[in-house]
Structure formats: C-alpha cells, structure tokens
Amino acid sequence: MFSKILVANRGEIAIRIIRSCKEMGISTVSVYSEADRESIHTALADQSLCIGTASSSDSYLNAERIVSAALATGAEAIHPGYGFLSESIQLAGLCEKHHIAFIGPPSNVISKMGDKDAARSIMKKAGVPIIPGTPILKDANEAIKAAKKIGFPLMIKARAGGGGKGIRLIHKPEEIENAFLSASREALEAFGDGALYIEKYVSPAKHIEIQLLADEYGKVVCLAERECSIQRNNQKLLEEAPSPAVDEKLRKKLTDASIKAADAVGYINAGTVEFLLDMAGNFYFMEMNVRLQVEHAVTEQITGLDIVKWQIRVAAGVPLDFCQKDVIIAGNSIECRINASAAGKVTFLHVPGGPRVRFDTALWTGYNVPPYYDSMIGKLIVHAATREEAIRKMHAALCELVIDGVPNNIDEQIEFISDEDFQRGEYYTNFLEKNRI
C-alpha cells in the first residue's frame, strides 16, 4: 500500500480523498493555487504546496507542476479527483514516466475513451448498443447531408472533453451550419480539439449510468445504477440511486453491457458507463467516464462501499475481494448539487444533520468563494430505506441547509424534489424544459 498520496484537486473532493487516506493510514500532500491558500484541503493534508496563481491553467491544470510536487514530496501516487486533470492523458503519462501511480486507468485507456468517436466504434464492436450517428465530420456541409439521413432532432457533439461543452441540439436543417461552427469553436477552446460528429437525439429519455470497479487482474464488478436525468445544459443537478425506472431484469442487461465495455478497453480502477434509456426500455451507450464522478456518493450509500478507498487499493495492485453477487442494494439515496451563482463571502453556514444525512463541502463561515473555479460548492446527500422516505429526508435537509452571503440554488433543488413527476419517478432529461424550472 502507498505511504503517501498527492491529491491533485481542490474543494470538497480533495477533502473527501484526504479523509479516506487518513482512514487508511496514508499521508497526504495537497496542492493549491494562490486563491486557495486558506482552503480547508490545504490544512487537512499532512503537507501542502502552492503550485501557481488563481488561474486553473497555472495551477490545477498544470500537469508538470503537479508531478514535480509529487516528486519533491516523495508521494508515490497521485489522485486527480474529478474535473481538472482527472481524464488527462498527459498527467497519466507523466506519472507512468516518473514511476508514480496514477489513481485511475492507464493513459492508453484514457486515450481510447476520451475520443468519443473511437469509443463508439469500440463499443459497437464489443456488442454494446450505441446511438445511431456518424463518424467525425469534415465540415458543416457534410453535417447537413448526414443530418438528412439520420433525421431530426439530433445532437452535434464534440469528440473530446465533457461538461456539456461542444454540444448542440438541432431541430431543423437551417440550424446546422451556425451550430456546427459554434460547437467546433467551443470544443477547440475548451479541449484543444474541434472535431464533431452527429448522434440521433433520443427524447424523452433517462440518463442512466453504471458505476464499476475493475482491478488489474481482469475482475470487473458493477455497483448498480444511478439516474442523472435532471440536467441543465448537459450539466447534472440531481442524482439518485437506484433509478426508479430500472428493474432487476434491466439492471442485469445494463451490468452485462458495462462489463463488456470495460473488458473491451482493458479498464482498470473506478469508471462509469453512461447510457440513455428510452421510453420503450431500449438503452444506448453514450460515453465512459474514466474517473471518479461527482455523484459517486449515492452509490456508496446504497452499497456500503467506499469507492475512493477502492480506487486507491486497485492502484496499489490490490485485487477486488468481492464479486458481482456480493453487491447488495440497500435502500435509496439522493444527491443535490449545491451551486453558487456568484462568488462571495459565506457570512453564515448551517449544515443539516441527522441519521444518513451527509454534506460534502469545503465551505466555512467566513470563507470567500473564489470566482475562478466550478460553481459547485457542496453536495447534499441522504440515504433512506425507501425512495419516498429519501425524498422526504432530502426535503427536510434542504430546508435546514443555510448558506448566507453566496447566492445559491437550494430553493431550486427544493422545487425539483417537490415536483410530482420527480416524486413518481417519471422524469426525463427534458425535465427542466418541461417544467420550466
């Protein structure tokens, strides 16, 4: 097992990883930007190093500085968390070059799955259902021709990256040219790759994902599904596990497809296979996230497994000590992402408590939320014996959560879980559009 791990991230996920390391008896190194000098993750780690200015490109996105910090402190492994460099071929490759363990899949796997066009081809060959679509398109004219064959509505999607960037929903032919050019520019600026392809738009649909763990000895275990259908601009806002739309028969099919996906690329560590589920019960591969995800906590709640600890164990060469039949779903869990709509100083913070209520955050009263990073400032997670009880528990927790001084979306989350469609489990990726929330 590792004796020291560098955490290459910030905020609540850095704290989450540091806590797991402490419980495992592993020393930690945190890195921080000048804007995060007073952040909790810098105080919780055994060592901390400033690696640059507030700009992400000068700090949390600078792979060379992060690896240099690991070498300088004697860290044997780097955990990238999510976002920033968590899916970076460069960081994984530098770790391999300098004999530092990267707590994630090998760089060649990241490369395969980071190219969504290549990933679609691999999945199709492996027998995993994919959404009808095209290869990479040369230009807008080629896109217009392809769109006529596929039919409307459709999605123009970037080959690289994630987070909703480089994606456009198209309803008619005259929208394609401008959308193609703007999506390509956005993807080029965000990921350095402006290549695009087209997929049929499946709607109404549910966004279902399968969390898995895979060790280096060929064992793959799926940890049931999560539903992430409440989204704005392809950014998830609320997640739950298990999905109210998935029964045992469908879960088995999704699990089998996810294992095929992992086997097809020789996957190692924690990963998530994302699917669209249509009204008829057909599901289609969208992408594979080769990292820990924001919503991993709801899976931890229903399975009793610490996914971060298992990421660390797998990276250290420890085999999974459980099989698929050992994964038991216990109860229901819901996570609400608490986002800030502007930077500001937290003048008062009250965190709800009670059995099986969890708030993952880096906030404290007096903390200045910086304007440079992601808008998520916390994750409120609840777990209960039934979905109905989990909804009531989340409503109570949201009503108790107070974050003054920073505008946030707590009230909006209360609207989500109070909605009748959500409470019945009959909600889809068009939830916000339909309900005009």
Residue 108 resides in a domain = no
Residue 110 resides in a domain = no
Mean pLDDT value of segment 14-18 = 98
Which residues are designated catalytic? 291
Residues 223 and 313 occupy one common structural domain: yes
Residue range 184-210, pLDDT digits in tens: 999 998 888 999 999 999 989 999 999
Residue 294 banded pLDDT, cuts 50, 70, 90: very high
Residues 270 and 188 occupy one common structural domain: no
Residue 233 banded pLDDT, cuts 50, 70, 90: confident
The Cα 36–Cα 50 span in angstroms is 9
For residue 161, the domain's CATH number is 3.30.1490.20
Nearest Cα to Cα of residue 229 among 238, 220, 218, 242: 238
Res 437: pLDDT: 63
Query: Which comes out higher in pLDDT, residue 288 or 436?
Result: 288
Residues 152 and 165 occupy one common structural domain: yes
Question: Which range marks the domain in which residue 283 is found?
Answer: 205-435
Res 161: pLDDT: 74
Mean pLDDT value of segment 305-333 = 98
Residues 421 and 298 occupy one common structural domain: yes
Res 257: pLDDT: 98
**Percentage, residues of the chain above pLDDT 70:** 99
The Cα 330–Cα 4 span in angstroms is 33
For residue 386, the domain's CATH number is 3.30.470.20
Residue range 22-62, pLDDT digits in tens: 999 999 999 999 999 999 999 999 999 999 999 999 999 99
Query: Which comes out higher in pLDDT, residue 301 or 203?
Result: 301
The amino acid sitting at 97 is K
Q: Does pLDDT of 18 surpass 80?
A: yes
Contacts with 185 (C-beta within 8 Å, 6 or more apart), sequence order: 194
Neighbours of 105 (CB within 10 A): 27
Residue 230 resides in a domain = yes
Residue range 250-275, pLDDT digits in tens: 999 999 999 999 999 999 999 999 99
Query: Is the distance from CB of 49 to CB of 36 less than 8 angstroms?
Result: no
Res 164: pLDDT: 78
Residues 17 and 151 occupy one common structural domain: no
Mean pLDDT value of segment 212-238 = 96
Residues 233 and 193 occupy one common structural domain: no
Residue 423 resides in a domain = yes
* Neighbouring C-alpha atoms within 13 Å toward the C-beta of 245: 26
Residues 395 and 413 occupy one common structural domain: yes
Work out the mean pLDDT of the chain and round it to a whole number. Answer: 96
Q: Does pLDDT of 298 surpass 80?
A: yes
Mean pLDDT value of segment 95-119 = 94
Residues 311 and 271 occupy one common structural domain: yes
Neighbours of 403 (CB within 10 A): 23
Q: Does pLDDT of 339 surpass 90?
A: yes
**Percentage, residues of the chain above pLDDT 90:** 94
The amino acid sitting at 224 is A
Write b or e for each residue in 127-157: b if 16 or more Cβ atoms lie within 10 A of its Cβ, otherwise e.
Answer: ebebbebbeebeebeebeebbeebeeebbbb
Query: Which comes out higher in pLDDT, residue 233 or 184?
Result: 184
Residue 250 resides in a domain = yes
The Cα 177–Cα 310 span in angstroms is 46
Pinpoint the alpha helices (H) of 344-435.
387-400, 410-418, 420-424, 431-435
Q: Does pLDDT of 277 surpass 80?
A: yes
Q: Does pLDDT of 364 surpass 80?
A: yes
Residue 399 resides in a domain = yes
Q: Does pLDDT of 419 surpass 70?
A: yes
Res 234: pLDDT: 82
Residue 309 banded pLDDT, cuts 50, 70, 90: very high
Residues 299 and 320 occupy one common structural domain: yes
Residue 114 banded pLDDT, cuts 50, 70, 90: confident
Residue 288 resides in a domain = yes
Residue 124 resides in a domain = no
Look at the chain and report how many structural domains it folds into: 3
Residues 302 and 396 occupy one common structural domain: yes
